[in-house]
Amino acid sequence: MSTLNTIFVILFMATTVSMLCPPHPPPICSKNEDMVFCSNDPTCESPSPQKGGYCGCIPVCICKPNLYRHNGECIPASECAIVVKDFDKRLSG
Complete DSSP assignment for 52-70: --EEEEEEEEEEPTTEEEE
Q: Are strands 73-76 and 54-63 parallel, antiparallel or unpaired?
A: unpaired
Domains for the chain: give ranges and CATH numbers.
27-92 (2.10.25)
Residue 56: what pLDDT? 78
pLDDT per residue over 27-83, tens digit each?
899 999 999 887 788 899 988 876 666 677 888 899 999 999 999 999 999 999 999
- Give the contacts of 83 (CB within 8 A, at least 6 positions apart): 44, 70
CA–CA gap between residue 87 and residue 47 (Å, rounded) = 8
Closest CA to 64 of 91, 27, 28, 31: 31
Burial class (CB in 10 A: 0-12, 13-18, 19+), 89: exposed
pTM over 0.75: no
